[in-house]
Amino acid sequence: MQYALVSVIKGVASLENDQLDECLVRLWEAEELAAKDSDWLGKDVVRGIVTLVGGAVQVLQHSYAKGVYNVLKSWMWIKVLQTDAVNYIGKEREVIRSCALLTLGIFNILLSLLPPQMLTAATYLSGFEGDRQVGLNMLLECWKEDGIFSAWGALVWVGYNVDTKTFLHEKLTEEDKEECDAIFKWAQESYENSVFFSLIRADFVASKQKIASSMEILDSALPYAKELKALEWAVNYKRGVYELADLNFEKAAVYFENSIQVYVRVGRRSMVPFMAMYSFLCYRVVQQRGEEAKTEMEMDSATAKSKADEMLSLIVDYKNMDKANWGRQDIYAFKMLALYKDIDEDDKDDDFESEPWPLLDLAENMVIRMRCTRWMNESQANRFLEMLQENADSLGKEVSAHDLVRMYAIVSQMLLERKQPLKALEWCNKGLALEDEVSDSGFLPLLLYLKAVIMLQQGQLLDAKHCVHLLDEKMTKKSWIHHYVLFKTTLLKKQLKMKERSDDHGYTTIKIGAGASHQHAVHLKANSRFRWEWSVTNHDIRFLCVFRPNGGGVQDLTVVKDIERWDKKSGPNIGTFDAHVAGEIVLEWDNTYSYLRSKDVLFRVISP
C-alpha cells in the first residue's frame, strides 16, 4: 500500500501522461491483494485507503462518475478506523494505528470544511463528526508516534497550519509555531532533500517576514525538484511569488517564465496561459514604472514592453489551440487577454468594466490568489499601498467605480492581514458606499465578508451576522471571486454559529410567542450611559424603549426609541441613552400584532 501511495505522488508530480494510469493499476493491485487476505482489521484498512485514493486519481483523470463512486465506496472499510484501528493491539499496531491516525485526521479536517448541508450527509454516511481540531491532533499524534506514516502526518499538519489557516483567517498560536519548528527540524534531519517540506518551510519562514531566507530555501531545493517536473514548476512559481512580495517585479516575471518552460518541455498546455499572464502583468508594471521614472530598474521600459508583448502573444497562441478543457486559471488568463489585447470582444464580460490597470490586476492576484502580501514587512506593505494610490491618482477620472471597489477590497484585506482591523473597516465602508455605482456585485461580497470578519473579531456578533446576510443576497456566480468568497463565508457562518452558542459573547436569545411581548428592565445610576444592541432573526417586531426616573410617574416617562416595525433585513438596532438622573430603562419587544408567528430576538445591553 505504501508503494502504491508513493506512486500516486510521483505520478502527479512527474507530469508524464501515463503515470496516473500506472499508479492506478498499482492501487487496484494492492486492493486485489488485500481482498485475498484472511479477514482481519488490516485488510479493511488497506482496501479502504487504496479505494479512496484510487477514486481521487480517477477524478484527476476526469473520470468523475467512477471517481466519486470509489470515494463513497471506501467508507464501508474506513469506518472501522474510528475504534478498532486506533486502539489495535498486536504486532501490526505500528502500521495499523499510524494509518488510522493519518486517515482519520485528514477526513476530520476535510469534513469540517464542508458546507453544513453536505456535512450532515457526510456525517450520516461515514460516522465522522468533522471536528477540525480533533483531526489536527490526530495528524500531530501520527507524526510524534513515528510510525510508518509519520512523515505524511507531519506534512499535512504543517501544510494546514502554515497555509490553510491564513486563508481562513485563523490564528497560528505560539504552540503551533513551536510544533512547526520541531517538525521542520525533524524533516531536515530525516528528509534533508525533501522538496515537499522545503516548499512549506519556505512559506513558514516567509510568514515571519524573512523573504530572503525563504528564497534561499527554495534555491537549495531546486536541484532536487528537477526530477519531478510539477515540483520544479512549483519551486519556480513560488520564487516568483516571493519576488513579488519583495516588490521585485522584473525578477518575478522571469521566474514565472521559468515555470512556463517546465510545462512546455513536457508538452503540457494547462497553466501555461495563466503563468504567462502573471509574467505579462509583471512586465507591464515594470514598463509603466519605467515610463513614469518612478524608480531605477535593471530592465528599461522598452525591453519590458517587448517581453510583455511576447507573453501576450504566447497566450494568444495557446488560446487558438485545439483544447476544450482549459482549467479555471487559464480561462481567467484568456479573459484578461480580451481586456489587454483587442482581439475577441465576445470574451469580455462584466468582470471587466474599465480600461486595463496592470498594477491593480497584479495586486488582486497577489492578495487573493498568491496571498503573498502577508509576507511583506511594514515598509514593503506601505510602499505597495502607496504605489496603488499613486496609480489611482495618476489615472484620475479614468478609474471606474468597479476598480475603486476592487482597490478598496485589496487594501482592506492587506490591512486586516497586518492586524489593523479598524483601518481595514474604514476601507471596507468606502468600498461599500459605492454599491449604487457598480453594475454588478463584483468585489462587494468580498468587502462584506471582510467586514463580517472584522465585526466578529471586535465582538460585534449582530453586525457580523448582518454582513453575512447581505453577502448572501449579493453573491453571484457571475464573478470569478464567487467560489473564493463562498468557501470562506461557509466557514465564517460556522464560526458565527459556534460563537452564538457559546457563553462568552454577552448576547441573550429571547423567544417571543405569537400575540406576546417581552420586556427587559435595567436600573441606571445618575450620569451613566446605557447601550443596547439587538436584532430579530425572523420576520419583524415592534420595539419601544422608555426611561423613568426614580420616583417619577407616567408623566415623567421619556420615550427613547419607538419603532413601529423592525425587520430582519434592517440588521442590528443599536442605540445609546445618557441618564442624567438615576432611574429605570425598559426595552420592550412587542409581537402582539402577530397571531401566528413567534419571533426570536438576539440582544445585549451594556451599562455601568
pLDDT band at 323 (very low <50, low <70, confident <90, very high): confident
Q: Which amino acid is at 211?
A: I
Please, are residues 157 and 136 in contact by the beta-carbon 8 Å criterion? Answer: yes
- Higher local confidence (pLDDT), 27 or 176: 176
Residue 293 CA to residue 299 CA, distance in Å, equals 12
Q: Is the pLDDT of residue 343 over 80?
A: no
Q: What is the pLDDT at residue 349?
A: 47
- Higher local confidence (pLDDT), 81 or 238: 238
Percent of the chain topping pLDDT 90: 52
- Higher local confidence (pLDDT), 435 or 230: 435
Cell 420616583 identifies what position? 551
Which range of 168-172, 262-266, 405-409, 472-476 scores highest in mean pLDDT? It is 405-409
In Å, what is the CA distance from 12 to each residue of 218, 302, 329, 344? 20, 40, 18, 34
Q: Cell numbers at residue 179, please? A: 510544533
**Angle between the N-to-C axes of helices 461-474 and 482-501, in degrees from 0 to 180, rounded to the nearest 10:** 150
Q: What is the pLDDT at residue 49?
A: 75
Please, are residues 71 and 56 in contact by the beta-carbon 8 Å criterion? Answer: yes
Alpha-carbon Rg of the chain, whole angstroms?
A: 28
The pLDDT of 216-232, averaged and rounded, is 90
pLDDT digits (tens, 9 = 90+) for 155-177: 999 999 998 888 877 888 999 99
Instruction: Give the three-class secondary structure for 83.
Output: coil
Q: Is the pLDDT of residue 39 over 60?
A: yes
Question: What percentage of the chain's residues is helix, strand, coil (to nearest 5)?
Answer: 65, 10, 25
Strand partners, 535: 602
508-606 has which fold? Jelly Rolls (2.60.120)
pLDDT digits (tens, 9 = 90+) for 265-312: 888 888 999 999 999 999 999 998 877 655 555 788 899 999 999 999
Nearest to 494 by CA among 101, 166, 171, 118: 118
pLDDT band at 59 (very low <50, low <70, confident <90, very high): low
Q: What is the pLDDT at residue 68?
A: 66
CB-CB neighbours of 511 under 10 Å = 11
Q: Is the pLDDT of residue 249 over 50?
A: yes
Residue 159 CA to residue 342 CA, distance in Å, equals 41
Q: What is the pLDDT at residue 594?
A: 94
pLDDT band at 347 (very low <50, low <70, confident <90, very high): very low
Q: For the chain, what is the largest distance between any 2 Cα atoms, rounded to a whole number of angstroms?
A: 90
The pLDDT of 332-348, averaged and rounded, is 72
Rama region for 540: left / alpha / beta (φ>0; ψ in -120 to 50; rest): beta
Residue 569 CA to residue 508 CA, distance in Å, equals 20
The pLDDT of 62-91, averaged and rounded, is 72
Write a three-state SS string for 88-112: CCCCCHHHHHHHHHHHHHHHHHHHH
Q: What is the pLDDT at residue 209?
A: 94
pLDDT band at 17 (very low <50, low <70, confident <90, very high): very low
The pLDDT of 487-492, averaged and rounded, is 86
pLDDT band at 228 (very low <50, low <70, confident <90, very high): confident
Per CATH, the homologous superfamily of domain 351-496 is Tetratricopeptide repeat domain (1.25.40.10)
| Strand ranges inside 508-582, DSSP E | 508-512, 517-524, 528-536, 540-549, 558-567, 573-579
| Lowest mean pLDDT across 16-20, 519-523, 547-551 | 16-20
CB-CB neighbours of 56 under 10 Å = 17
Average pLDDT score over the chain: 85
The pLDDT of 54-81, averaged and rounded, is 71
Q: What is the pLDDT at residue 433?
A: 95
pLDDT band at 523 (very low <50, low <70, confident <90, very high): very high
Residue 481 CA to residue 66 CA, distance in Å, equals 30
Q: Which amino acid is at 162?
A: V
CB-CB neighbours of 238 under 10 Å = 24
Q: How many CA atoms lie within 13 A of 217 on its CB side?
A: 23
The pLDDT of 114-131, averaged and rounded, is 56
The pLDDT of 305-329, averaged and rounded, is 92
164-173 per-residue burial string, b: 16 or more CB within 10 A, e: under 16:
eebebbeeee
DSSP 269: -
* Annotated domain spans of the chain: 351-496, 508-606
- Higher local confidence (pLDDT), 213 or 606: 213
Q: Is the pLDDT of residue 468 over 90?
A: yes
Q: Where do runs of H (alpha helix) occur along 74-164?
A: 75-78, 93-112, 116-126, 132-144, 150-159
The pLDDT of 305-330, averaged and rounded, is 92
Residue 197 CA to residue 234 CA, distance in Å, equals 13
Q: What is the DSSP string of 489-510?
A: HHHHHHHHHHHHHSSSS--EEE
Q: Is the pLDDT of residue 37 over 80?
A: no
| Lowest mean pLDDT across 23-37, 403-417, 452-466 | 23-37
Q: How many CA atoms lie within 13 A of 253 on its CB side?
A: 26
Please, are residues 494 and 471 in contact by the beta-carbon 8 Å criterion? Answer: no
Please, are residues 368 and 413 in contact by the beta-carbon 8 Å criterion? Answer: yes
